[in-house]
């Protein structure tokens, strides 16, 4: 009977820029974004057990995270066991550090970590191509986290190619206001319908070629969803101004928000900026580093404040 357990980190990500470049007939938005894994990570312990089914235990910053079968990590375990034809059960102990929702990919990363972990505990039961198909069925961002590396992501988020980027030090700031991805996209669509179509900006692929020019960095981090997120959560605009005032070389919003990030030359500068941001109810901040292109594995997640 199958047995064993292991512990994995499920790293978050930031979007170093996000552009909406089209929309499919089924309503899904086509995007172009640069995904950077960060060392703010959830911790996941996966244990095989003889009892069938999936048991999930949550701890840490888990407010708003479903603790039942709706949880993406639990759904990933169920999908893997079904694909593997396994009668074993799985116990998941998930310690959350990544805010949800926050635009940092925590749920998607948790799901991918479950798939990676079960593939290691039940080797050869699910082929790599099938594993990726399971990941995509769970969510467009999940395949990226099967092997998180800096990448240019296109399509609805399912297509990625590695990019060569250095390590960045970031200050993250989450206003403590939940902001559903679906609501942000709905607001984006409502605003787009009332505006004259704008001329497309330069692609992120072109801007990556200029990554060493400081003048290109702020253009690179432009997020087309930020105006919509700001309408739904005005604190986003307030936080942006505060981070800009600390001297960040660039400020952006990750994913559909509401987490903002500022780019700094090192942890000392980022920590100083963190202390200058006005404290408000619900605000959470972290100083993190992105994974460089040659990273072998995500590092441990830092504690938030």
- Own/partner pairs, 298-302, CB within 8 angstroms, 24+ separation: 298/9, 298/11, 298/37, 298/39, 298/41, 298/148, 299/9, 299/39, 299/41, 300/9, 300/39, 300/41, 301/9, 301/11, 301/12, 301/39, 301/40, 301/41, 301/42, 301/43, 301/97, 301/98, 302/39, 302/40
User: 160 or 303, which is more confident?
Assistant: 160
Which pLDDT score is estimated for 300? 39
Of all residues in the chain, the percent with pLDDT exceeding 70 is 88
Q: Which tokens go with 168?
A: 């960045």
pLDDT at 164: 85
Q: What mean pLDDT, rounded, does the chain reach? A: 88
Which sequence spans correspond to the domains of the chain?
4-162, 169-289
Say which CATH superfamily domain 169-289 falls into. Answer: GHMP kinase, C-terminal domain (3.30.70.890)
68 assigned to active site: no
Q: Distance between CA atoms of 50 and 40, rounded to whole angstroms?
A: 33
Q: Do domains 4-162 and 169-289 have the same CATH topology?
A: no
- Between residues 302 and 96, which one has the greater pLDDT? 96
Q: State the DSSP string of 6-75.
A: EEEEEEEEEEEEEEEEEE-TTSPEEEEEEEEEEEEEEEEEEEEESS-SEEEEEEES-TT---STTSHHHH
Catalytic residue among 110, 141, 224, 241: 141
**pLDDT tens by residue, 82-96:** 999 998 899 999 999
Average pLDDT estimate for 176-188: 91
In this prediction, residues 3-28 reach a mean pLDDT of 91
Catalytic residue among 13, 42, 96, 224: 13
**Which is nearest to 67 in space by CA: 75, 57, 77?**
57
The reported pLDDT for the residue numbered 178 is 85
Digit-coded pLDDT (tens) for 200-246: 555 677 656 655 454 567 777 889 999 999 999 999 999 999 999 99
82: helix, strand or coil:
helix
Per-residue pLDDT averaged across 27-46, rounded?
94
Q: Which of 74-88, 117-131, 146-160 has the lowest average pLDDT?
A: 146-160
Candidates 210, 212, 211, 218; CA nearest to 248 is 218
**Confidence check: pLDDT of 179 > 70:** yes
Share of the chain above pLDDT 90, in %: 67
For the segment 34-48, the average pLDDT, to the nearest whole number, is 96
Q: Quick one: average pLDDT of 128-139?
A: 96
Mean per-residue pLDDT, 60-80: 93
Q: Output the pLDDT for position 165.
A: 85
Assess whether pLDDT exceeds 80 at residue 297: no
Residue 28: pLDDT band (50, 70, 90) is confident
Q: With beta carbons less than 8 A apart as the criterion, state whether 135 and 125 touch.
A: no
Which pLDDT score is estimated for 301?
Answer: 39
Q: Options 3.90.480.20, 3.30.230.10, 3.30.470.20, 3.30.470.10; which CATH number does 4-162 get?
A: 3.30.230.10
């Amino acid at each position: 009977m199958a047995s064993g357990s292991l512990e994995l980190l499920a790293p978050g990500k930031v979007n170093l820029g996000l552009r909406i470049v089209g929309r499919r007939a089924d309503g899904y938005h086509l995007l172009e974004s640069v995904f950077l894994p960060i060392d703010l990570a959830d911790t996941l312990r996966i244990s095989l057990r003889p009892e069938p089914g999936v048991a999930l235990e949550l701890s840490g910053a888990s407010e708003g995270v479903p603790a039942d079968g709706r949880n993406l990590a639990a759904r990933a375990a169920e999908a893997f066991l079904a694909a593997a034809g396994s009668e074993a059960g799985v116990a998941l102990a998930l310690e959350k550090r990544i805010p949800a929702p926050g635009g940092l990919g925590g749920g998607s990363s948790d799901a991918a970590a479950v798939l990676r972990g079960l593939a290691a505990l039940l080797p050869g039961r699910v082929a790599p191509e099938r594993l990726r198909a399971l990941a995509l069925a769970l969510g467009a961002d999940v395949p990226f986290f099967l092997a998180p590396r800096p990448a240019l992501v296109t399509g609805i988020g399912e297509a990625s190619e590695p990019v060569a980027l250095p390590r960045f030090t970031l200050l993250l700031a989450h206003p403590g206001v939940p902001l559903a991805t679906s609501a942000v996209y709905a607001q984006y669509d409502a605003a787009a319908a009332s505006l004259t179509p704008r001329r497309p900006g330069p692609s992120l692929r072109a801007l990556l070629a200029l990554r060493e020019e400081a003048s290109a960095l702020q253009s690179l981090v432009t997020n087309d969803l930020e105006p919509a997120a700001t309408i739904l959560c005005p604190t986003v605009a307030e936080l942006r101004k505060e981070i800009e005032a600390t001297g960040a070389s660039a400020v952006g919003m990750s994913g559909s928000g509401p987490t903002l990030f500022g780019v700094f030359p090192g942890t000392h500068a980022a920590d100083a900026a963190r202390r200058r941001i006005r404290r408000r109810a619900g605000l959470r901040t972290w100083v993190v580093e992105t994974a460089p292109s040659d990273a072998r594995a995500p590092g441990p997640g830092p504690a938030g404040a």
